[in-house]
Amino acid sequence: MSDTALIRVKELKKYFPIQAGVVRKTVGHVKAVDGITFNIERGKTMGLVGESGCGKSTTGRTMLRLLKATDGEVIFDGNDMLKMEKSKLREFRTRMQIIFQDPYSSLNPRLPVKDIVGEAMLQHKIVPNKKEMKERVIEIIGKCGLFPEQALRYPHQFSGGQRQRICIARALAVNPEFIVCDEAVSALDVSIQSQIINLLKDLQDEMGLTYLFISHDLSVVKFISDDVGVMYVGHLVEYGSRDKIFANPIHPYTKALLSAAPSFDPKAKGKSKRIVMEGDVPSPANPPSGCRFHTRCPHVEPICKETVPENRELEPGHFVMCHKAESL
């Protein structure tokens, strides 16, 4: 699966220093992302799920170098993103974009849609002048389901779903190959969510886009992804094709996560054998020793508390980070 990979992430790490005292001495690190490895193939969607604080958003931002990585490699189409010079990076950024969760804070309230979407086209000389920019903006927002006359309006004149369409249009303006969707539909109403998800799917089919789809909503990730990675406190605990992860989850955390999602069938109420985990997600500032899931794992053994499990490929393309993967 790695031959056609557009993006390879190798042992990516992102630590945030914890500073204390008057001299801002670093007293520790929040290990938001602690050595994760995966590939995304061209034209495919990788879903990244996990609970809040597991490092999934940090992963997306670090890959785009919006945050400076602590260690590791991000190879985008043969180029090492993390070692690239700043001037080259600025041009290179057009190839990868990001869509955020909050459609309110992700649009500048002072600019009309035309400028929000078109600004980067002028910056990167994708269009020669303002007139062509406007034409191109109208074309792109049309693709995203907005009307040409809406190009002159300001963000506050749009609803949440429409704003998310503007965000998508802004990302598409520079003809990217890869888009990180960071909880892109989580803040939207259910009926609007499905519109945006369909739009993302249509754009992918049309333009051959590659997505990293970050979400805490398992049903959405299952719907849109080809491959799925499950994160827990900075580790990628299980990673493989969607069908394998959802049909045959191996890691105890994946199992618990899948069973925790509310079902739509009221008849299943009380019948499903839900794995309810005890306790809360540990803090990444002070992660548990060994396997980070051992504090909540129903199958915990002494070795889990001592050594960090290796990331093992159980089947081709199905990686699990658990000491007991074979026996579960």
Residues 66 and 99: beta-carbon distance below 8 Å: no
Which of 7, 2, 3, 1 has the alpha carbon at shortest distance from 210?
7
C-alpha–C-alpha distance, residues 287 and 280, integer Å:
12
The reply to whether 292 sits near other proteins by the rule CB under 8 A is: no
Q: How far is the CB of 313 from other proteins (least distance, A)?
A: 26
Taking CB under 8 A as the criterion, which residues in 226-265 touch other proteins? 246, 256-265
Q: Which stretch binds other proteins (CB under 8 A): 30-38, 127-135, 211-219, 300-308?
A: 211-219
Distances (CA, A) of 133 to 94, 121, 161, 177, 190: 16, 7, 24, 20, 33
Residue 170-189 contact track with other proteins, rule CB under 8 A, x = bound: xx-xx--------------x
Q: Looking at beta carbons only, is 2 or 105 nearer to other proteins?
A: 105
Residue 115: CB minimum distance to other proteins, A: 8
> In whole angstroms, how close is the CB of 224 to other proteins at the nearest point?
8
Smallest distance, other proteins to C-beta of residue 278, A: 8
Spatial CA neighbour of 59 closest among 293, 232, 303: 232
Q: Residue 52 interacts with other proteins (CB under 8 A)?
A: yes
- Tell me how far apart the alpha carbons of residues 231 and 46 are, in angstroms, rounded to a whole number: 13
Q: How far apart are the C-alpha atoms of 131 and 23, rounded to whole Å? A: 53
Name residue 49's beta-bridge partners. 215, 230
CB nearer to other proteins: pick between 256 and 325? 256
Buried-exposed string 97-117: b where 16+ CB fall within 10 A, e elsewhere = bbbbbebeebbeeeebbbbbb
* Radius of gyration for the alpha carbons in the chain, expressed in angstroms and rounded: 21
CA proximity to 16, closest of 5, 24, 28: 28
Binding piece for other proteins, criterion CB under 8 A, among 77-85, 271-279, 287-295, 308-316: 271-279
Binding mask 109-148 for other proteins (x = CB under 8 A): xxx---x---xx--xx----------------------x-
- Please give the size of the binding site for other proteins, defined by CB under 8 A: 78
CB-CB contact of 185 with 165 (8 Å): no
For 51, phi then psi, to 5°, come to -90, 175
Residue 223 lies near other proteins (rule: CB under 8 A): yes
**Contacts to other proteins from residues 297-316, by CB under 8 A:** none
Q: Does 21 bind other proteins (CB under 8 A)?
A: no
Residue (20 or 268) nearer to other proteins, CB: 268
Q: Residue 7, exposed/middle/buried by CB under 10 A (0-12, 13-18, 19+)?
A: buried
Pick between residue 26 and residue 123 the one whose CB is nearest to other proteins. 123
- Write the interaction track for other proteins spanning residues 79-98; mark x where CB under 8 A is met and - where it is not: ----------xxx-xx-xxx
* Burial class for 131, CB neighbours closer than 10 Å (0-12, 13-18, 19+): exposed
Least separation in angstroms between CB 119 and other proteins = 6
CB of 121 to other proteins, least distance (A): 9
Residue 20 lies near other proteins (rule: CB under 8 A) = no
Q: Does 277 bind other proteins (CB under 8 A)?
A: yes
- The verdict on 286 binding other proteins (CB under 8 A) reads no
